[in-house]
Structure formats: C-alpha cells, structure tokens
Structure 1
C-alpha cells in the first residue's frame, strides 16, 4: 500500500480552507481540479458550481497529503457536527484497490462503485459498516 491520507469535505469553501492550510504547512498544491474541468454531456455541472473544487491536494512532509473537495449542492450540505472527512487509501495496483475496496466495504454502503474515473484514476468510495467514509484509489501515473 502506498499511503493513507485524510480527505475533507467542504460546503464551497475548500479553496479558502486550503489556502489557510498552505499558509500554515507551506508547500505547493500538487493538483487542483474544479467541477468545470470534468463537465461533459454525461456530467453536467450547474453554473453556480463550476468553480467549486472537485479535488485539491496539499503535500505535508514527504509522504502525507491533505486532500479535499467541495460537496455539490445536489448531494446535500456537509454538517460540521457529522463526519465530514474520508480516508483515502492509495493502492499500488488495481488488484490491490479491488481487494481493499471489497474488504472494507463489506456490510457497508457503497457510494461510488470502484472503476475508472474521468481524471485518470481507478477509484471508488463507500461508508463502512461502522460509518467511516473511505475512498480507495489506484493512480497509474504515480
């Protein structure tokens, strides 16, 4: 397994929060994807959400990455009193991703089946039987 990193959900202020985190931790963002970057005929994005963050990553130290996204309105708001973060498992292969996804999601609720993503990774997300939210991803470019 490559790494396990925290993934935080925001209600439209991920970019602001990450600018703050960057001012504290230093470093540079390795990737910023906005919802408009993924817009297509199959994935239509409302105008008011095109500039929201789909994915932002800030490396912290040599092996850790803090990741976040804005939750689109159609998915409902994030309640700060509830779980608003996910644990991201970065697998070393598709096979490892499938094994981890299958094992951890057993008895839980799959929110996004594991498969190829529009941004070039192989990923899926779920809430395990204990209510913890996970994303399992394999990025062949790493």
Structure 2
C-alpha cells in the first residue's frame, strides 16, 4: 500500500514543489498545467490560470509521493469550501528521520521563512522533534528516535 500526501495551494504550487524538490531531491513524476486540459464548453481560462498547476507529483521514496495542485475556483462545485491558506490546522505531514543529521537538515530546510512552533530538540519520548509551518502554510512535524523507546 502507498500512502501519499496531497497539498492544495492557490497559485503557489510550482514554487512550493520546486522548494520541496530542492530538499527531497528527485524529479517530478507528473506535472500537468490547467492549460494542458482539453477544452471544455463554458470553461474560459485566462493565460495566468492556464499556467497554474493542475497536478504535480514528487516521489519521496518507493512508497511515498508528495502531490499537489493549485485550486481553481472555476472548477469547484457549490459544495467545495473556499480555499484558505493554512486552514488545515489539524493536518500535518510527519517525517520520521532515521538519523539526527537528516532530521536537522530537513528541519533547517523546510522551516526557512516559516513559523516554528517547536524547534528541533530532544523530547521525553527519546526523540528529536520539531513542529512548524513552512512558508507555504503547510504544517510539518519531524521525529527522529534517538534510542530504543517502548510505549
């Protein structure tokens, strides 16, 4: 089973995924723009809207891809809630690093221009842990076990 994360942005998907690719490496396995869609009757997209990301996927490892898109209000249904940046208050992506150096690298890179809730530090559960929101409004947690710790 694969468990992937899908992020929505409003005009920032390309910048966000270029940023994430600089941290995680690799190449996009998919990148489609709204302008790549077949013409649809009644859907008139501006040149700016056509340049936005319809879907992008960045493989992180053989089991995980980070995916995303720019929300386009013209394609939303009446039941779709309006996009509000950073409104995913109770959803975070958790990265489990296997080495302290990697945990530090991920924290320093992903938190650039973001808001740190808890800096990377040792915890009572025997791990290095950090919580923060990146510059694109996505919440992250990093956890790196320092020793065998049972619950």
Structure 1: 5+ residue stretches without partners: 86-142
**Distance (whole Å) between structure 1 residues aligned to residue 64 and residue 42 of structure 2:** 31
Checking the alignment, whether the CA contact within 8 Å between 1:35 and 1:50 is kept in structure 2 is yes
SS in 2 for 1:78: coil
Q: Tell me the TM-score normalized by structure 1.
A: 0.52
Q: Tell me the TM-score normalized by structure 2.
A: 0.49
Q: CA, structure 1 residues 38+56, in 2 after alignment: closer, same or farther (shift >3 Å)?
A: same
Note the aligned Cα RMSD (angstroms): 2.3
Q: Deviations over 1:38-75 (max 9, x none)?
A: 14134724213101001000000121000000001334
Where relative contact order (Cα < 8 A, 6+ residues apart) is larger, the structure is 1
**Distance (whole Å) between structure 2 residues aligned to residue 43 and residue 57 of structure 1:** 28
2:63 — aligned with what?
Answer: 63
Bigger radius of gyration: 2
Q: CA, structure 1 residues 49+84, in 2 after alignment: closer, same or farther (shift >3 Å)?
A: farther
Structure 2: 5+ residue stretches without partners: 77-81, 92-151
